[in-house]
Amino acid sequence: MSTPPDPACLRYRHRRHGMDHQRYEWSQLHERELVEWPGGARVAFWVNVCVQFFPLNPRGIPFAVPGGMSMPYPDLRHFSLRDYGNRVGIFRMLDTLDRWRIKPTFAVNGAMVERAPYLLSVLRERGDEIVAHGWDMDSPHHGGLTPMEETDLIRRSIDSLEEATGRPVRGWLGPARSESPLTPDLLKEQGIVWFADWVNDEMPYRFHTRAGDLWAMPLPNEIEDRFILMQNLHSEDSWVEQVCDACDFLLREAAESGGRMLSLNLHPWVLGQPHRIARLERALDYVTSQSGVWPTTPEEILRHPSFRA
């Protein structure tokens, strides 16, 4: 007969109301001060486009990143589809975003600087905000990395993008939103101002690190194209419907509870396909036609008096 554990084993020194860590202050959205977006807008609309490199022979350590290779080597079917996104789909999406006057952010793997220098030159000339997206899609951040190893991954990702674009990189989206327990601290120490890995909110909030606060900018996984179409196996029309439903609801909620944020995470190898691009057009047309929607970027949001990054 086993001996019951000591009751002290069940006491966790960080346990407190709302959560079991001290990364941010507990705060329910409906209890916060009301935010008023510029021009009386009710919903800030932010679009992020992922520019990624998936290696043909991934190590998959400590896990296989979603969207990566899934067949025995060489998985040319999926490798070439991801490459299609960076050769064809991205330019189709740029044309669509420009026609609807959307100024996107681009979350870019550092390895893309060497893999697709022409594409990086296009993004540099456009002047859109570049977000560091880790080194590549087979280099997730995890607790098995030493602080020095992880710092090197972060620094290489940032340095390659800053050298290619000639502009400072202030934002971060981890590959597969992966983190070690130290990732937020290391990001802040390397000059990152905001990151989009945590999806536990719909508005920016302060995220504590040992080097000072980061801004958490939630970028929902639940409404991104890859998750809806490839993982949930919903139709393209269903994705459009979900985006429109989210917009409608947030507009209604914001009318009573203050400004809200609608964020879309997109992938050129998914929505950049000729049979899907019309759905992106429909979603953008609907959202931008609604009274009270402010198409914007994370940097513009964080310059708002409520945040001031």
3-state secondary structure 27-94: CCHHHCCCCCCHHHCCEEEEEEEEECCCCCCCCCCCCCCCCCCCCCCCCHHHHHHHHHHHHHHHHHHH
Predicted local confidence at residue 297, as pLDDT: 97
Low-confidence ranges of the chain (pLDDT < 50): none
Identify whether 90 is part of a domain.
yes
Identify whether 22 is part of a domain.
no
Buried-exposed string 39-71: b where 16+ CB fall within 10 A, e elsewhere: eebbbbbbbbbbbbbbeeebeeeeebbebbbee
Name the E strands within 93-218: 105-108, 129-132, 171-172, 194-195, 205-207, 214-216
Identify whether 129 is part of a domain.
yes
Q: How far is CA 161 from the centre of its chain?
A: 17
Identify whether 3 is part of a domain.
no
Identify whether 242 is part of a domain.
yes
pTM as predicted = 0.93
Identify whether 309 is part of a domain.
no
Mean pLDDT of the chain: 94
Predicted local confidence at residue 307, as pLDDT: 87
Identify whether 29 is part of a domain.
no
CATH number assigned to the domain comprising residue 198: 3.20.20.370
Residue 177's SS3 state is helix
**Strand 105-108 versus strand 129-132 pairing type:** parallel
Total domains present in the chain: 1
Per-residue pLDDT reduced to its tens digit, 6-23: 777 667 666 666 677 889
Identify whether 297 is part of a domain.
yes
Domain range enclosing 98 = 34-302
Tell whether the torsion through CA atoms of 131, 94, 267 and 104 is positive or negative: positive
Backbone angles phi and psi of 264, in degrees to 5? -115, 135
- CB 258, CB 215: distance < 8 Å: no
Predicted local confidence at residue 1, as pLDDT: 58
